[in-house]
Amino acid sequence: MEKEKSSVDILRDLAKREDWEFNIKERTNSTRFGSSERNVVIRNYQIKDSYFISVQSATFDKYRVYSGIFFPVSGYDNYKLLIRKRDQLDKFSFRKNKLRLKIGNSSFDSKIYVETNNDIETHKLLSSSKVQLEIIEYLSSDNLLFIGFNEINPQFGKDMKGKKFLSVFMSLTWMLDKKMIDSAFKLGELLNSKFNQNK
């Protein structure tokens, strides 16, 4: 009977098929409890300055496990942004409703939760109806999907050290579906180009 493929195997096979560069770092922290850390970094050089990163760490951080597309962005050191699909709790929480940014398009605002520390920059980023539609479509495909800026800043290797990242990512599990990965690359590239235009 053929052994079921691990998440690492699936990503390694995908990288090989697509001719993407694949790097993995694994470390077992405790042989007794079997806790291990894995960092997979994939480079798709057709999408400039992008990293496809999947992490499983032994910490108890809220992003202990995550996977997605990351673009380093300069010139926005203090900017914070988190975008996700709205859930039932958001709709009934006065506090969350007060905290979130509404962009003024009811079809977007009713479906998407936006939290930021800079309303002006975020309005610029989300002003295009094309960007809004892409975000709605992408986030509607899974409840564990997020878009962030300065939300997760991976620091693997010298080319990532000290940088802030725009991320299109999945929390609590790894992104293994090729269609979803392609969509994350596409959306990340679109948002990254908007950041560069707004500089």
Neighbour tally for 193: CB within 10 Å: 12
Parse the chain into domains and list their residue ranges. 7-198
Instruction: Assign 191 to helix, strand or coil.
Output: helix
Among positive and negative, which fits the CA dihedral 115, 120, 124, 128? positive
Q: Do residues 54 and 173 make contact, with C-beta atoms less than 8 angstroms apart? A: no
Mean pLDDT of the region 85-95: 75
Pairing of strands 35-43, 21-30: antiparallel
pTM of the entire predicted model: 0.90
What number of residues does the chain have? 199
What's residue 54's pLDDT?
96
How far apart are alpha carbons 199 and 197 in whole angstroms?
A: 6
What's residue 198's pLDDT?
74
DSSP secondary structure letters along 16-27: HHHT-EEEEEEE
Position 78 pLDDT exceeds 80: yes
Query: What are the beta bridge partners of residue 148?
Result: 82, 167
What's residue 52's pLDDT?
97
What's residue 97's pLDDT?
66
